Amino acid sequence: MNQKSFNANDIVGWVARRKFLFGGFLATVGAAYGVFASYALKFVFPAPKPPRRIRVFLGFSDQIRPGASKAVNLPTGDQLLISNTGKINPVTGNTFIAFSNSCPHLGCKVHWEARREEFVCPCHGGVFTAGGVAVAGPPAQSGSNLKPYEILVEGNSIYAVVEEV
Amino acid sequence: MSRVASALVRANDWLRERFPVDQQVLISMGSEPVPGHLKRWWWCLGGTPAYLFIIQAVTGVLLTFYYVPTPDQAYESVAAITNQVRFGWYIRSLHKWSANLMIVAVLLHMMRVFFTGAYRRPREGNWMLGVLLLLLTLGFGFTGYSLVYEQLSFWGATVAANILQSIPLIGPDLAGFLRGGSHVGSNMLTRLFVFHIGALPTLMVVVLLGHLLLMRTHGVSPLGSPAGPDAKRFPFIPDHLFTEIAVALFLMFILTFLAIVFPAGLGPKANPLVTPEHIKPEWYFFWAFRWLKLMPEQAAVATQGLFIALIFFWPLIDARIRKRRPDSELSIWIGAGAVISLLTLTVWESLHLLH
């Protein structure tokens, strides 16, 4: 009997092997260029860097007396309102609080009312606590609070710590 | 018929109507039967530089996103690409290594064509286009290296401009054109950049298309007797295309290996006031650099020009020789002599630089 003769199963196996190898070849080509494409995409889009935090000088502490407040323009374009509550905050160890003075409702400027110890928006009667939390008016209805700023008191100088633009 | 199938048929009909290309003609053009010797690996060397050129174009466009072609920022931007941008080292190393491999592949392809006599009638014109492609590739190498603006590449560009200047009659104008003035500075960097990313790629694509068109119209050159390996022909697409894709995959592996093991480095920043103690060009100009040291500058430049002209017009010279002596094997001896001379000059210069 001829040992080299093929039967139908051999041919099916051979075709299947060719298909498998061809599929493997295409998959390898796809994987190689897929990896390259992913690297190229990462190259094109710069990695997001954590923004640098910088200090912005706000004023001298003895110039903002208890009950007074001062608006300061920030390099970010926002305006900050620093207020002296006259009461030492146990967390920060000083009497100053700082918030964006833009009302989260429609952007009117809020002011600090020392007697009520509240921020008040003149446009639609928005009221915020000394912690910036909305308690009355449209901001309270939508639950929008004043944006807080981190402050640093070194000696007589007060700074805001903000992210560089 | 399912809805998807009928939508596909409609889309196909829409495209066929707008782009009335006869698909059968395209298929028969692509599946042209090519001689059996194209199965050999040496015959993939034409597609290799073309593939490497595509890698150069892709990585080159990516690098251009960050490169700044001004004397005070060029070096810093390359440093930023290498050290800060995500995968910047990989893209830059791929660009550098594919440039080097492209020169190797072009030279090997050229040697294959030369030693198999594939440049002979009627393919003399295509050999000349091939020599132009070699010169363009070297031009890419020179301009690209100079863009890094490190000490060696800066002084390499300075020396190259001065060599140009020594060419009789046209030299000073050529050097002035390259430098954009009397000294190497921002004008020259801008020009090198424009050549590297604009003029040379455009020329390359045009000449490459001509090269491929001529190759296609003449057909692949025969090898040996028609009853030999060429008797069994096979279709260009898909057989030869898949061989080239396999070569491309292998090259991608080699390039990645080289990029990881030998990433593109960065020397000290260019300083126009201090010439480094040892200046050297890239390895593919070592032969010319050594030649310059062996004789007076003008003689060296003239003989190099003559050598390139000899390569360019070789099919015509060879035809004259073979007209007188049809069985002459002089071309093989001259070719071997040229290869050995170039290798000797290159190795000589590298050994000199090592010490």
A94-119 per-position pLDDT tens digit:
889 999 999 999 999 999 888 888 99
The phi, psi pair for B320, rounded to 5°, reads -65, -40
A32 Cβ under 8 Å from any chain B Cβ? yes
B42-82: pLDDT as tens digits: 888 889 999 999 999 999 999 999 999 999 999 999 999 99
**Residue from B105, B102, B68 nearest B85 by CA:** B68
The CATH fold assigned to B31-277 is Cytochrome Bc1 Complex; Chain C (1.20.810)
- CB–CB of A40 and B88 under 8 A? no
| Interface residue of A25, A35, A43 to substitute, partner B, most B CBs within 10 Å | A43
Contact state of B91 with A29 under an 8 Å Cβ cutoff: no
Cβ distance of A39 and B87 shorter than 8 Å: yes
Q: What proportion of chain A, given as a percentage, has pLDDT over 90? A: 46
DSSP of B99-162 = HHHHHHHHHHHHHHHHHTTTTSTT-HHHHHHHHHHHHHHHHHHHHHHHHT-BHHHHHHHHHHHH
Which among A29, A32, A42 has the least Cβ separation from residue B87?
A42
By the 8 A CB rule, do B300 and B294 touch? yes
Mean pLDDT of chain B: 92
Per domain, the residue ranges of chain B are 31-277, 282-355
Q: What is the mean pLDDT of residues B309-323?
A: 95
Contact A42 B91 (CB under 8 A): no
Report the b/e string of B65-101 with b at 16+ CB within 10 A.
Answer: ebbebebeebbebbeebbeebebbbbbbbbbbbbbbb
According to the model, what pLDDT value does residue A121 have? 93
Q: What is the pLDDT of residue A85?
A: 86
Q: Residue A1's pLDDT is what?
A: 46
User: Which chain B residues are within 8 Å of A29, Cβ to Cβ?
Assistant: 245, 249
Asked if residue A105 lies in contact with residue A147, where contact means CB atoms within 8 angstroms, the answer is no
Percent of chain B whose predicted confidence (pLDDT) is above 90: 70
The residue in chain B having the minimum alpha-carbon distance to the alpha carbon of residue A24 is B246
Among A21, A28, A36, the strongest candidate for a mutation testing the B interface, having the largest count of B CBs within 10 A, is: A36
pLDDT of residue A115: 87
Q: Is the per-residue pLDDT at B5 higher than 50?
A: yes
Q: In this structure, what token pair is assigned to residue B239?
A: 């057989």
Query: A91 CB near a chain B CB, below 8 Å?
Result: no
Contact across the interface for B86 and A40, Cβ inside 8 Å: no
Instruction: Give the per-residue pLDDT at A5.
Output: 64
Q: Is the Cβ of A55 closer than 8 Å to some Cβ of chain B?
A: no
* Rounded mean pLDDT, B30-34: 83
Given a cut of 80, whether residue A12 has pLDDT beyond it is no
State whether A32 and B249 contact (CB < 8 Å).
yes
Instruction: Name chain B contacts of A36, Cβ cutoff 8 Å.
Output: 252
Give the chain B residue whose CA is nearest to the CA of A25.
B246
- In this predicted structure, the answer to whether residue B221 has a pLDDT above a threshold of 70 is yes
- Strand B234-235 with B33-34, pairing: antiparallel
Q: What is the pLDDT of residue B229?
A: 67
CA distance B86 to chain A (A): 5
* B43 SS3 class: helix
Tell me how far apart the alpha carbons of residues B164 and A121 are, in angstroms, rounded to a whole number. Answer: 75
The pLDDT value recorded for residue B222 is 81
Q: Give the residue with greater pLDDT, B89 vs A93.
A: B89
Query: Distance from A37 to chain B by nearest Cα, in Å?
Result: 10
More confident residue, B186 or B224: B186
Any B CB within 8 A of A28 CB: yes
Nearest by CB to B249, from A29, A39, A43: name it.
A29
Q: Which of B56, B63, B91, B253 to mutate to probe the A interface, most A CBs <10 Å?
A: B91
Report CA torsion sign: B62, B68, B74, B76: negative
Q: Residues of chain B with pLDDT > 70: what percent? A: 98
Q: How far apart are CA B137 and CA B99, in angstroms?
A: 8
Across chain A, mean pLDDT equals 87
The pLDDT of residue B146 is: 94
Question: What would the two tokens of residue B229 be?
Answer: 């390996």
pLDDT score for B318: 95
Cα separation, B29 vs A41, whole angstroms: 35
Q: Where do the structural domains in chain A lie, given as residue ranges?
A: 1-48, 53-163
Residues of chain B with C-beta less than 8 angstroms from the C-beta of A33: 252
| Average pLDDT, integer, range A147-158 | 90
Q: Does B252 reach chain A within 8 Å, measured CB to CB?
A: yes
* Interchain proximity B252–A32, CB inside 8 Å: yes
Distance of CA B113 to the CA centre of its chain: 15
Q: How confident is the model at residue A6 (pLDDT cuts 50, 70, 90)?
A: low
Superfamily name and number for A53-163: Rieske [2Fe-2S] iron-sulphur domain (2.102.10.10)
Sheet holding A96-100, edge to edge: A69-73, A79-84, A96-100
| Cβ-nearest to B90 among A29, A39, A46 | A39
The C-alpha atoms of residue A149 and residue A152 are separated, in whole angstroms, by 10
Distance between CA atoms of residues B164 and B157, nearest Å:
11
Across the range B177-206, mean pLDDT stands at 94
Among A8-12, B238-242, B271-275, whose mean pLDDT is lowest? A8-12
Q: Closest to A43 (Cβ–Cβ): which among B88, B246, B249?
A: B88
Of residues B216 and B226, more confidently modeled: B216
Q: Max Cα separation, chain A?
A: 113
Distance CA B291, CA B344 (A): 11
The average pLDDT across B4-29 equals 90
- In this predicted structure, the answer to whether residue A2 has a pLDDT above a threshold of 70 is no
Burial class (CB in 10 A: 0-12, 13-18, 19+), B190: middle
Question: Which tens digits make up the pLDDT trace of B290-315?
Answer: 999 999 988 999 999 999 999 999 99
